[in-house]
Chains A and B, each alone.
Chain A
Amino acid sequence: NAGVTQTPKFQVLKTGQSMTLQCAQDMNHEYMSWYRQDPGMGLRLIHYSVGAGITDQGEVPNGYNVSRSTTEDFPLRLLSAAPSQTSVYFCASADPVREKLFFGSGTQLSVL
């Protein structure tokens, strides 16, 4: 059972470049979410989804897009990367009653 899988693990971008962070889970969880973690700031919610075709914004959504075409996948898109988006990104899914989150291993992104 792989759980939540994130790719890539590391990425370096130049300002203005675009990219997609991949997230897949094999637990058939309806709820999935993206967080960013910055030193001293804790985990902040970017976007979340309560099921295929349904997404909503979290605390810090600007500069990020998401879509949810399947239960398994929840990609995060950076359309035009900015240095302020340098961070560690975590994808998480939650069990059916959302009592606990299962996190991926994270993507460390640097935007130069």
Chain B
Amino acid sequence: EDQVTQSPEALRLQEGESSSLNCSYTVSGLRGLFWYRQDPGKGPEFLFTLYSAGEEKEKERLKATLTKKESFLHITAPKPEDSATYLCAVQYASGGSYIPTFGRGTSLIVHP
């Protein structure tokens, strides 16, 4: 059973059409939840870290929120350049080591 589940797997939007990506997690002892953006042929790039339920972070058209069970990445009025795969990762404390577990990602395509 996946500890981190992202949905949907793929999302197609028209430019300007707002939507949300979901990341749900089942681990206990959450240390932090991370969002990354990955462009084709490149490594993931850090976007946000969230630590506690109710926390929100914003960057341009992106806003990340966190509850006790899940996180949402809201995309407001997206542009074609927002097209990418968005990865969620959960970091938990296990035996003193901090190791993030990644979800499988949501592939976002924004059409002009």
Contact = CB atoms under 8 A, between A and B. Distances in A.
Tier of interface size on chain B: 20 to 34
A104 B34 contact: no
A106 B45 contact: no
Contacts of A102: 46
A60 interface: no
Given A42-B105, A98-B91, A104 B43 contact: yes
A48 B97 CA distance: 11
Contacts, number: 46
Main SS of chain A's interface residues?
Answer: strand
A42 B91 CA distance: 16
A100 B104 contact: no
Majority SS at the chain B contact face: strand
Interface range on chain A: under 10, 10 to 19, 20 to 34, or 35 or more? 20 to 34
Contact of B44 (A41, A43, A48, A58): A43
Interface in A58-103: 58, 90, 92, 98-103
Contacts of A41: 104
A106 B41 contact: yes
B73 to A, nearest CB: 16
Contacts of B75: none
Interface of A: 4, 35, 40-45, 48, 50, 56, 58, 90, 92, 98-106
Interface of B: 32, 34, 36, 41-46, 49, 87, 89, 91, 97-100, 102-105
